[in-house]
A and B are shown apart, each in its own frame.
Chain A
Amino acid sequence: MRRVLGAPPSREAEFTEFVEAASARLLRAALVLLDTREEAEDALQLALLRTYRRWDRARQAPEAYSRTVLVNVCRERWRYRARHPEVKGRIDDASPQSVVLSFTEAVDRRHVLVRVLRRLPAVQREVLVFRYMLDASVADTAAALGIAEGTVKSAASRGLDQLRILLSAEYEDKKVRRVHPR
């Protein structure tokens, strides 16, 4: 009965195998692109759902397809937030008034590198995520993000420079706090 009503078993099996292999990397990428763990998990689920809907097309290169969908979902979230500023926004990690709202956010905040990556401009952040988290080539990154290959290279270079500067500042700040605790 299930075979008659549902998708063919091979389709489900293929998709399940793909999710088990790729979902961790995609979730980590979403975590960098978005602000909270909850948002990242929602975005991942939506991206996988859209991938499964078009599985006949996506099965040729499911990882490339799903990461393109994921970045589109993340961009939709950014646009939604820009249109609805009243919705709870991102936590400004640099602000002394920042409030930890949940346990998962507390865990997120422990991720220093992720926090610093989130401060980068959107294009640099997307390029670094694609190149160094999702292991996409320059050509694949350019195709997925809809930008030129030259832009991918320059954004990666500037993003790394910026990251180095921000991380150095972060560590300097920590050293100072350690020597002179408040």
Chain B
Amino acid sequence: MSIHADDEFNLRLALDSELDDVTPRAGLADLVIARYRKGRRRRFAGVVGLFVVFVGIGVPAGIASTSGRAPDGAAGRAGPVALRLGPYTLTLPERYHLSDAKTAPCATGAGAVPQVAAISPGVCVLMFFMPPGRPERAGPDVPSSATEVAVGPYRAWLAPPGYVPSGGGPALVGTALVIEGDGRDLVIGASGLPRSALVSLVSAGLSAA
């Protein structure tokens, strides 16, 4: 057969004739389908791997960012929250989380006094030691308008509104409960919490080492 391309028909015939022996390998469709499945498995494995990596990085980071910053690094911990100061531990319900005492809503503004704080929506609890009273006065510096209350095994009294401890202590915000201790008194102040609720909270959660 002539392979001269005299016209389109001849070209088509010539190509068909010349390439008659060119045939694809047997089972080409199966080969392509197998290759497709292999690629799909690889892509799936890649997506799963990426998902695992992002979850591994993102979940801890997300938890850390939504929790408050705790001075003792207890942020994000589940369960009751423990507010510790000296020998005292005040265990608070789960809805509370530790907060920076200097920036908490119930902060006293007295930076020199060691303080710890915890917050929950609308409520702030602050704990610090009462500065020592005047040396010439023996016993606790209890104001006359204070209300004595029983808090577990401790002697305590509720400070009147606007009470400022003697000895240059910080002004209290909201309600304050003073626990008499050996040598130094513990002050537990709260904002957004009624006096009875504060007493109940401290009665249930306060312990000393």
- Cα A27 to Cα B30 with chains together (Å): 16
| A167: Cβ under 8 A from any B Cβ | yes
Question: Are A24 and B37 CB-contacts (below 8 A) given A19-B29, A133-B15?
Answer: no
One of A48, A128, A164 near B32 (C-beta < 8 A): A48
The reply to whether A164 and B29 form a contact with Cβ atoms under 8 Å apart is no
Whether a CB of chain A sits under 8 angstroms from the CB of B95 is no
Given contacts A24-B22, A133-B15, contact A53 B36 (CB under 8 A): yes
> Looking at the complex, which one of A27, A114, A164 makes contact with B5 (CB distance below 8 Å)?
A164
The contact string, 1 if C-beta is below 8 Å from chain A, for chain B 1-37, is 0011110100110110011011111001111110111
Cβ A12 vs Cβ B32 within 8 A:
no
Indicate which residue in A20, A28, A167, A168 contacts B22 across the interface (CB closer than 8 Å): A28
The 23 sampled A-B contact pairs (Cβ below 8 Å) are: A16-B29, A16-B33, A24-B22, A27-B22, A27-B23, A28-B15, A28-B19, A28-B22, A41-B24, A45-B28, A45-B31, A49-B32, A49-B35, A52-B32, A53-B36, A107-B21, A111-B19, A112-B3, A131-B8, A132-B11, A163-B11, A167-B3, A167-B5
Interface residues of A (CB under 8 A from B): 6-7, 12, 15-16, 18-20, 23-24, 27-28, 31, 37, 41, 44-45, 48-49, 52-53, 107, 111-114, 128, 131-133, 160, 163-164, 167-168, 171
Looking at the assembled complex, report how far the CB atom of B10 sits from the nearest CB atom of chain A, in whole angstroms: 10
Q: 1/0 per position for B32-46, CB-CB distance to A under 8 A?
A: 110111010000000
B interface residues, Cβ below 8 angstroms from A: 3-6, 8, 11-12, 14-15, 18-19, 21-25, 28-33, 35-37, 39
Determine if B18 and A112 form an interchain contact, defined as CB atoms under 8 angstroms apart.
yes
A160/B33 contact (C-beta < 8 A), A24-B23, A112-B18 known: no
Q: Judging by beta carbons under 8 Å apart, are B24 and A132 in contact? A: no
Q: Closest CB of chain B to A110's CB: distance in Å?
A: 9
Chain B residues with CB under 8 Å of A167's CB are 3-5
* A41 to B23 alpha-carbon distance, docked (Å): 10
Report the minimum CB–CB distance from A136 to chain B (whole Å): 12
Whole-angstrom distance between the alpha carbons of A27 and B15 in the complex?
A: 13
Do B37 and A6 touch across chains, with their CB atoms under 8 A apart?
yes
Cα separation A164 to B10 with both chains bound (whole Å): 11
Query: B21: shortest Cβ distance to chain A, in Å?
Result: 8
Task: Identify whether the interface residues of B are mostly helix, strand, loop, or mixed.
Answer: helix
Could you tell me if B36 and A113 are in contact, using CB atoms closer than 8 angstroms? no
Shortest beta-carbon contacts, A-B, top 10 = A19-B29, A16-B29, A23-B24, A28-B19, A163-B5, A48-B32, A132-B12, A27-B24, A113-B3, A113-B18
B36 (CB) vs chain A CBs: closest residue: A52
Chain B residues with Cβ under 8 A from A49's Cβ?
32, 35-36, 39
Contact at A160–B11, with CB atoms within 8 Å? Answer: yes
Neighbouring A residues of B18 by C-beta, 8 Å = 111-114
- Given contacts A20-B29, A23-B28, are A160 and B8 in contact (CB under 8 A)? yes
| 17 other A-B residue contacts (CB within 8 Å) besides A15-B29, A24-B24 | A15-B33, A16-B30, A18-B29, A19-B32, A27-B23, A27-B24, A31-B22, A44-B28, A45-B32, A48-B32, A49-B35, A111-B19, A112-B18, A128-B11, A160-B8, A164-B4, A167-B5
A28-B19, A164-B5, A164-B6 known; A113+B32 contact, CB < 8 A: no
Contact A52 B33 (CB under 8 A): yes
Q: How far is the CB of A137 from chain B (nearest CB, A)?
A: 13
**Given A48-B28, A113-B3, A163-B5, is A12 in contact with B33 using a C-beta cutoff of 8 Å?**
yes
Answer whether A113 and B14 are a contact pair too, CB < 8 Å, given A24-B23, A24-B24, A31-B19: yes
